[in-house]
Amino acid sequence: MIFPYRSNLDRSRYETNLRNPVDHPIMKELRNVPVSISHGTQIKLISELYEDSNPLSMLDHPAIIIIPYQVSTINLIELYRLNIPTFCPSLSLLKEWCREYDIMWESHYGWPETISSFYDIPDPNGTPNMDKNSTEWEKMFDYWMPLADFYQNKVGLVYFDSWEDFFHKYHKIRRNGQLDNMHLKMKKENERLRKKLVERWKRIIARVRKSK
């Protein structure tokens, strides 16, 4: 299952309804993986199977794949809290997809003037029609994209460098019974995060009460 429901594979920065998402080159690359590698495993866009993006529907699937379109989405957090084994393109693959297909164009809107005095930090917006093979674009990507939610040391997430690499990792993990381990690692991490957040809110509420 490929998530999220909105993938932006049907549009570009400048045009909507360019294509059916299943006809995007990324999806064609997926379908072109030899059966000897995919072993017939079917992968569908969530929009092909469901009329909405209810994360509870994902519990019926062994794993999900994230195709990022933004640096932070609530869907990723919802799914992570459900402890669903998750696969995500590596930074190197995402960079390739951004160069070829601009799939992360929605990470900023327009090209506002940079007001920061920290000129050693790349402008996160870049410039209009920036050459994606330029040093400027690469510095921007390498500085900002690792800060996206999906690359923040998420316990249980597995990164793949190509569709072939995904199938190799997925089948190895599933064959060794490691999907359950991914689930348990995520569950343990979510329990840790919940405990940390509850304790933090207790301290905040205690300070508020004391100030009264």
Residue 91 CA: distances (Å) to CA of 7, 46, 74, 96, 152: 17, 23, 20, 9, 12
pTM above 0.85, yes or no: yes
In a domain, residue 46? The reply is yes
In a domain, residue 134? The reply is yes
In a domain, residue 123? The reply is no
Total domains present in the chain: 1
In a domain, residue 148? The reply is yes
In a domain, residue 114? The reply is no
In a domain, residue 121? The reply is no
Tens-binned pLDDT, residue by residue, of the chain (212 aa): 787 777 789 988 888 888 999 999 999 999 999 999 999 999 999 888 888 888 888 888 999 999 998 888 888 888 899 999 999 999 999 999 999 999 998 887 777 776 666 667 888 888 888 899 999 899 999 999 999 998 987 888 999 999 999 999 999 999 998 999 999 999 999 999 999 999 999 999 999 998 87
Range of the domain at 164: 2-109+129-211
